[in-house]
Structure 1
């Protein structure tokens, strides 16, 4: 197991240091980028003003998406299988060329 280190990240112009292991770092960076984009999209819509309110709306939107995916509205496993199948097909076509 890796040592826990501080990773400097930036979300909507604000700097944060978050502790994580080397193995967790790529996932953390993906999450930071995803959250930053969600918050910027909300800000750019012009309907919500203030970083705290934007963060709250982003959190509510993400919680809603997560709960819908768990309630059966979205079958994440099926999406993963379909994406894997598409990737396999792409690999076969690329290998044939």
Structure 2
């Protein structure tokens, strides 16, 4: 049995429209119509845009802008987060690899200070195991 599309009646800016949609799409279509109607009413109330066509275009532009901003916000942190996690992993691995160099050996006990003619080592902020009190 083939399911016939529904004829949904929606109202936008006091004008009724009949829209065909699938049964499972009706809630999203109603929510979309409410969003558009609210945006158009807000634009009309400002009094700066006159004419239903212009109001509709401005509302569509505003909604499209919001969508692009949302997409950009969603994609940017993930890429940035992945990059930052990789940097942190690299720093942790470097710090852990440096721990093996700090282990006391038979030639140099842990309580002896390093020779004074050596340059002090530069440590990053994540090299906490190298910090000695």
Q: Above 0.5 in TM-score?
A: yes
Once the two structures are TM-superposed, the CA of residue 70 in structure 1 deviates from its matched residue by 1.2
Q: Which residue of 1 aligns with 2:59?
A: 58
Q: Which residue of 2 aligns with 1:33?
A: 34
Figure out how many residues of one structure are paired with residues of the other and give that number: 75
Once the two structures are TM-superposed, the CA of residue 10 in structure 1 deviates from its matched residue by 0.9
Structure 1 unaligned spans of 5+: 79-97
- Which structure has more relative contact order (CA 8 Å, sep 6+)? It is 1
Structure 2 unaligned spans of 5+: 78-133
Q: Which has the higher helix share?
A: 1
Local SS of the residue matching 1:18: strand
Alpha-carbon distance between aligned partners in 2 of 1:62 and 1:34, rounded to the nearest angstrom? 9
Normalised TM-score (structure 2): 0.52
Once the two structures are TM-superposed, the CA of residue 69 in structure 1 deviates from its matched residue by 1.1
Once the two structures are TM-superposed, the CA of residue 2 in structure 1 deviates from its matched residue by 4.4
Report the more deviating stretch, 1-10 or 50-59.
1-10
Q: Which residue of 2 aligns with 1:9?
A: 10
Q: Which residue of 1 aligns with 2:129?
A: none
Once the two structures are TM-superposed, the CA of residue 3 in structure 1 deviates from its matched residue by 2.7
Alpha-carbon distance between aligned partners in 2 of 1:64 and 1:2, rounded to the nearest angstrom? 35
Local SS of the residue matching 1:24: helix
Over alpha carbons, which structure has the higher Rg?
2
Once the two structures are TM-superposed, the CA of residue 12 in structure 1 deviates from its matched residue by 0.3
CA distances 1:27-66 after superposition (whole Å, capped 9, x unpaired): 1111101110000000001111100000000011011111
RMSD: 1.9
Structure 1's consecutive aligned runs of 4 or more residues displaced over 3 angstroms after TM superposition are none
Residues 5, 20 of structure 1: 8 Å contact kept? yes
